[in-house]
């Protein structure tokens, strides 16, 4: 009787897998990590049997993963000789080293994201970009003041030059201002809420989403128990209540979308809060306000009991999204590839160790490093994942999810209308 030993991924290999996952998806990352780590201790390629035992994946998952890795050009298919009859079994080996592979993976993933965007949203008739294709400098307009949600860009900022692009980061007051800066040409790339993106496209703006930074919308409706008078557990309790929302904001659109499902007859009074939602709530001007998932924590830190309803629990729709003009997508592919590769690397770095990026954010905002870390850790865990991300990697977008959001906005009469919706 012959025994055979196999190398197996274990907890010590988690960081290698985690670094590759944003650019490949979970299964392909496990397979590539196994091949890279195995090559350091054992000569020769790995058979399907070795991959199945070494990664813990089944046959179908292995087949899909190696197809993805071959398409990315990071593994080679070969065969190994054995003592059995018939054709030698197929096997695979990594083409590069453990140090170089993440960079190659991120570059390929960036190209795949742009191909996906062009396939789903791009047109050949977009207005040309004013910048030359050889100009590898981009301006990124983020959707708010520096905060924990922006950590992947600040983690990537140190490494963008590795991918041949220089990125200037600017901050805007909300998604609509980030979109305005993009449309006017002040920014080359904007971080904009998905609902704002679709409303802009419906209004005729030639803008294209190239990557979904957070896969689920982070908007919430919340109140304080003392003000509301009872625990807020369901949307039906909002009828005949006053709900505070800032004008021309992503949270206003999503808040109205949420309310349209419970009070389509106008049974909820919407109050403009001029961006001071919590002041309006605490003063009694309104009963409930809209905001981001992290906003209620400011009140909880003050000892208040806060109840929250998450929009994404009723509508599983996209959150903040990277957007470009159609002309930029068609004319500046090289710069966009470098930017997306660097941001994918930034997402991986922030997931592994968010503190360095949080320190850069805090330096620009005079905020707390710990708070930025906590915000990103919660956001990436609760809003950053999806089946598409697990299969393809960070930022991946699917047409059916966009269509679900478009249909919901249309049904709620929110797809088009005045900018103060």
Quick: pLDDT tens for 245-300. Answer: 998 889 999 999 988 876 656 678 999 987 688 999 999 999 999 999 999 998 99
Q: Provide the β-strand partners of residue 323.
A: 190, 209
Task: Assign 170 to helix, strand or coil.
Answer: strand
Distance CA 285, CA 320 (A): 29
Buried b (16+ CB within 10 A) or exposed e, 126-143: beebebeeeebebbbbbb
Closest CA to 383 of 217, 229, 178, 169: 217
- Average pLDDT along the chain: 91
Give the DSSP letter string of 363-391.
HHHT--HHHHHHHHHHHHHHHS--HHHHH
Q: pTM for the whole thing?
A: 0.92
Distance CA 279, CA 275 (A): 9
Helix %, strand %, coil % for the chain, to 5? 50, 15, 35
Q: What value does the CA radius of gyration of the chain take, rounded to a whole number of Å?
A: 24
Distance CA 298, CA 292 (A): 11
In degrees rounded to 5, what are phi and psi of residue 192?
-135, 140
> How buried is residue 259: exposed, middle or buried, by Cβ count under 10 Å (0-12/13-18/19+)?
buried
For 241, residues 6+ apart whose C-beta sits below 8 A from its C-beta are 268, 269, 287, 288
CATH number of 11-99: 1.10.10.10
In degrees rounded to 5, what are phi and psi of residue 208?
-130, 125
Task: Give residue limits of the domains in the chain.
Answer: 11-99, 102-215+317-411, 219-314
Q: Provide the β-strand partners of residue 242.
A: 269
Alpha helices, H only, 74-136: 101-120
Q: Do residues 201 and 324 lie in contact, with contact meaning Cβ atoms separated by under 8 Å?
A: no
CATH number of 219-314: 3.40.190.10
């021309």: which residue's tokens? 248
| Residue-by-residue pLDDT tens, the chain, 421 positions | 455 678 899 999 999 999 999 999 999 999 999 999 998 887 789 999 999 999 999 999 999 999 999 999 999 999 876 655 557 789 999 999 999 999 999 999 999 999 999 998 866 554 555 555 567 999 999 999 999 999 999 997 767 999 999 999 999 999 999 999 999 999 999 999 999 999 999 999 999 999 999 999 999 999 999 989 999 998 889 888 999 999 888 999 999 998 887 665 667 899 998 768 899 999 999 999 999 999 999 899 999 999 999 998 888 899 999 999 999 998 999 999 999 999 999 999 999 999 999 999 999 988 899 999 999 999 999 999 999 999 999 999 999 999 999 999 998 889 975 443 3
> How buried is residue 64: exposed, middle or buried, by Cβ count under 10 Å (0-12/13-18/19+)?
middle
Give the number of residues written for the chain: 421
Quick: pLDDT tens for 9-38. Answer: 999 999 999 999 999 999 999 999 999 999
Comparing 11-99 with 102-215+317-411, is the CATH topology the same? Answer: no
> Looking at domain 102-215+317-411, which CATH architecture does it have?
3-Layer(aba) Sandwich (3.40)
């Amino acid at each position: 009787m012959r025994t055979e030993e196999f190398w197996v991924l274990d907890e010590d290999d988690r960081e290698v897998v985690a670094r590759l996952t944003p650019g490949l998806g979970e299964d392909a990352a496990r397979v590539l990590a196994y091949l890279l780590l195995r090559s350091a201790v054992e000569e020769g390629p790995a058979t399907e049997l070795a991959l199945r035992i070494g990664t813990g994946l089944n046959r179908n998952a292995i087949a899909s993963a190696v197809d993805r890795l071959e398409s990315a050009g990071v593994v080679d298919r070969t065969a190994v000789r054995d003592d059995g009859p018939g054709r030698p079994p197929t096997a695979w080996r990594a083409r590069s080293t453990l140090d170089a592979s993440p960079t190659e993976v991120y570059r390929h993933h960036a190209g795949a994201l742009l191909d996906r965007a062009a396939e789903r949203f791009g047109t050949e008739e977009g207005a040309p970009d004013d910048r030359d294709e050889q100009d590898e400098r981009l301006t990124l307009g983020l959707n708010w003041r520096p905060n924990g949600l922006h950590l992947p860009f600040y983690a990537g900022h140190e490494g963008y030059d590795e991918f041949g692009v220089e990125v200037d980061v600017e901050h805007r007051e909300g998604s609509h201002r980030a979109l305005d800066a993009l449309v006017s040409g002040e920014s080359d790339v904007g971080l904009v809420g998905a609902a704002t993106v679709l409303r802009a496209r419906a209004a005729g703006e030639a803008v294209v989403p190239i990557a979904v930074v957070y896969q689920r919308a982070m908007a919430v409706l919340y109140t304080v128990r003392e003000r509301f008078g009872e625990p807020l557990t369901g949307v039906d309790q909002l009828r005949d209540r006053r709900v505070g929302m800032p004008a021309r904001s992503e949270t206003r659109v999503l808040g109205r979308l949420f309310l349209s499902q419970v009070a389509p007859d106008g049974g909820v009074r919407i109050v403009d809060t001029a961006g001071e939602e919590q002041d309006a709530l605490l003063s009694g001007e309104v009963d409930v306000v809209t905001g981001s998932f992290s906003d209620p924590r400011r009140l909880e830190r003050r000892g208040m009991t806060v109840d929250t309803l998450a929009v994404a629990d009723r509508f599983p729709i996209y959150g903040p999204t990277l957007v470009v003009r159609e002309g930029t997508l068609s004319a500046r592919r090289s710069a966009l590839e470098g930017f997306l590769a660097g941001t994918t690397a930034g997402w991986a770095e922030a997931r592994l160790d968010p503190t360095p990026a949080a320190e850069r954010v805090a330096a620009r905002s005079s905020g707390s490093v710990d708070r930025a870390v906590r915000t990103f850790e919660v956001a990436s865990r609760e809003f950053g994942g999806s089946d598409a991300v697990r299969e393809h990697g960070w930022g991946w977008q699917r047409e059916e999810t966009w269509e679900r959001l478009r249909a919901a906005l249309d049904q709620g009469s929110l797809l088009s209308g005045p900018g103060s919706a």
